[in-house]
Amino acid sequence: MNYEKGFGLLNGKKGIIFGALDDRSIAWRVALACKREGAEFVLSNAPIALRLGALNALSEETGAKIIPCDVSKEEDVESLMNQVKEELGGVDFILHAIGMSPNIRKKKPYEDLDYRFYQQSLDISAVSLHKILHFANSTGVLNDGASVVALSYIGAQRIFSKYSDMNDAKALLESIARNYGSRLGHRGIRVNTVSQAPTITSAGSGIKGFDGMFDFAEKMSPLGNPTADDCADYCVTLFSDLTKKVTMQNLYHDGGFVTNGISEELMEGLAKLHELKGDSEDNS
């Protein structure tokens, strides 16, 4: 089905989209999908990321204002919410698409983490969701019936060694989503995490061994890896009124990866390896 014109699923809705860095970013694709569906929103990223200038193109394309915010600073998050209030009044959806691990960047192994970096990974990638919800609530920006989505990864449940301290950050992120979801439900506000498959983006491909994680997931998932645009469409459904009773969930958007034990393709690949090993042993 060609749905370039959208379905008007977000007509009249207003939101905040955190984390669009360049046109590969999942948040960038979500912004385009939200625009297609009729939403109005502001874009936010850390001042250092805005210096790259790429976000201006998305701002022009979507008519969205850019409001800088380093989510590790409480004063930035509070100031952002006050500016959003002036710009949009209240908001009906928020996308948290923020992740960063200085330990991974600096190639510190999990057994030898720099603890200051570890704090930063947890703060930027997870505690930031708490801060965003806290200040969206205390400033009166979060409308009744709003939908909040944070992007997660299956490293929260199953350990992927190269994902290092981000495995811990995602576990905390998902817990914060549940905790806040239970407290905001009485206002019809839902808070969920979407556990996305490996996706080729700046954050994703910055992880050593990312190609292996991507290929493994691709071969393991009956539907194959979803793209950033697929993820964007899924987020749209969660922001829409079609999912009003879904909250406190970690929703896998992974082509079936999490439930599959092993795929035929991987079985065949392993069988071939076994044959090759047998051949080389026979020849030795």
Ligand X SMILES: NC(=O)c1ccc[n+]([C@@H]2O[C@H](COP(=O)([O-])OP(=O)(O)OC[C@H]3O[C@@H](n4cnc5c(N)ncnc54)[C@H](O)[C@@H]3O)[C@@H](O)[C@H]2O)c1
- Which residues ranging from 211 to 250 are in contact with ligand X (CB under 6 A)? none
User: Does the active-site annotation cover 110?
Assistant: no
| Number of shown-chain residues binding ligand X (CB under 6 A) | 26
User: What Cα–Cα distance (Å) separates residue 122 from each residue in 100, 102, 119, 226, 251?
Assistant: 9, 10, 5, 26, 21
SS3 content of the chain, % helix, strand, coil (to 5): 50, 15, 30
Regarding 62 and contact with ligand X (CB under 6 A), the answer is no
- Kindly compute the dihedral angle of the four CA atoms of residues 92, 44, 181, 248, in this order, to the nearest 10 degrees: 100
Which of 32-40, 85-93, 129-137, 201-209 is the region at the interface with ligand X (rule: CB under 6 A)?
A: 201-209
Half-sphere exposure of 62 (CA within 13 A, CB side): 31
Catalytic residue status for 115: no
Strand order in the sheet with 142-152: 65-68, 40-45, 14-18, 91-96, 142-152, 190-196, 250-253
* Active-site position among 118, 153, 180, 252: 153
Residue 93 β-bridge partners: 15, 147
Cα–Cα dist 130/179, whole Å: 9
| String marking each residue 85-124 x if it binds ligand X according to CB under 6 A | ------------xxxx-----------------------x
Q: Which two tokens stand for residue 193?
A: 């995490």
Q: Mark 2-41 with x for binding to ligand X (rule: CB under 6 A) and - for no binding.
A: -----------------x-x---xxx--------------
71 binds ligand X (CB under 6 A): yes
- Segment 121 to 140, residues that bind ligand X, using CB under 6 A: 124
Of 42 and 49, CB closest to ligand X: 49
Catalytic residues: 153, 163
Which residues bind to ligand X, rule: CB under 6 A? 19, 21, 25-27, 45-46, 49, 70-72, 97-100, 124, 151-153, 196, 198-199, 201-204
